Chains A and B, each alone.
Chain A
């Protein structure tokens, strides 16, 4: 544990070394999220809502997904170095060390500039909460916290899955971005607006709707069933197949580096 903590500190310090560079990257992340926000803003200046969700509720969705994505990517984004590590052969060096492979890769590749995205998501949340029409109770705050926490785990798993695919392809297949960056973009609306087929995929396939759409119905008092309340927890079942797939890939891995 201490070892990982040291990795973490080392990385934080080294990224802080180039302050201007770090701040510029962070500002870039911040502005990136803002353009999506302005996009929503421009549309909802003319339209009052989408399906039966108001502007405030859309913003709430947007901020939940943004926060989850920011946290998930801060930890999991570094896994994108997998193909490179394999080509270089440095993955072999990591494999022989008697410590967890995932942690050894995550810790030195943590990207703190993602905090810019997180800050932006929190700002959007502050705008969204008063206009969303949610009557907050202790239970609902708890559900909301679960949405963000489980969402982060889901995004981390997605990054892990995308990375694990490269065990088989060696090359980086950038179309898999649709499951990570794409989901961040599409998550700006409640997933139900994309139609039944998309909602089914996002419920049973990649269970992002479980941390966004279903608990949102609970927050809005439209559904009070226990399943809507704990749906974020149910989504954690996704961790099992992703981890299994990653182990499976790791087992199949044959070194190709020199």
Chain B
């Protein structure tokens, strides 16, 4: 077990150093996150001017939600540039991976987790700090209490796990479908919409909102972001975290099972 962990850890280190190489790209990503969040905040401000009291979230919470969403976007997006995995499946290189003495599910899970984490670490904090520095109506409000920060961190970790598990299911599905691009677009749209990436879940009509919250989508970015902005707290947050634990377990188990079935009869295209 410890030997496997060591393999995973060094894979993470390689990835991390690799991503730090391109400083211009990191700078660009920070700038993009900042401008994008700013424009979105301006849009929400205009909407709240019209009828803020009729909207389900307080203005300052929505603004914090937008900033946090832009900051952690890499961590919580199911479709992210896991170029190696996509091309391994397409080109048939996956047979080499299968021959390695490390389980494919664990290996890919780790690879795609470290891909996101290493990028997010260098790129999300600057956006959060910039957001906190902005003056009142535009800037984000940081969590008020230590308990809130703690709940956020736990929830974020779980949401991250669920997100990567979802991505794993997508990779497994690519064993069966040839259209990588189509699947990628579909998965991106559905997961980002129902996890609150377009508008926060509280804005949804009642029945859709409840369904999305119970499905794994609600256990993705929705939960940590709502805890971060203060919309969910106390026992409600604990219940949400419980659901996240369940979905993390379920999604990993499902993905692992599906991968075992898929690799059991893999037909390689590569020459």
Binding site for B on A (CB under 8 A): 18, 20-21, 23-25, 27-29, 31-32, 35-36, 38-39, 42-43, 45-51, 169, 171, 173-178, 182, 186, 189, 193-195, 198
Contacts and interface: CB of A to CB of B under 8 A. Distances in A.
12 contacts: A21-B179, A28-B185, A35-B189, A43-B55, A43-B203, A47-B55, A51-B49, A171-B22, A175-B28, A175-B29, A182-B36, A189-B43
Contact of B179 (A20, A42, A173, A186): A20
B46 A24 contact: no
B35 A182 contact: yes
A223 B31 CA distance: 36
B1 interface: no
B50 A178 contact: no
A188 B186 CA distance: 21
A25 to B, nearest CB: 4
B178 A18 contact: yes
A196 to B, nearest CB: 11
A93 B49 CA distance: 56
Chain B at the A interface: SS class: helix
Nearest to B192: A35
Contact of B186 (A18, A27, A182): A27
A178 B189 CA distance: 18
For A47, A51, A174, A182, the residue with the greatest tally of chain B CB atoms inside 10 Å of its CB is: A47
B190 to A, nearest CB: 8
Query: How many B residues touch the partner, as a band?
Result: 35 or more
Given A21-B178, A174-B25, A182-B36, A193 B204 contact: no
Nearest to A23: B182
Given A25-B185, A28-B185, A194 B43 contact: yes
Contacts of B182: 21, 23-25, 27-28
Nearest to A194: B42
Contact of A178 (B32, B42, B186): B32
B189 A32 contact: yes
Given A47-B47, A50-B46, A198 B189 contact: no
Nearest to B29: A175
A224 B54 CA distance: 35
B50 A47 contact: yes
Nearest to A36: B198
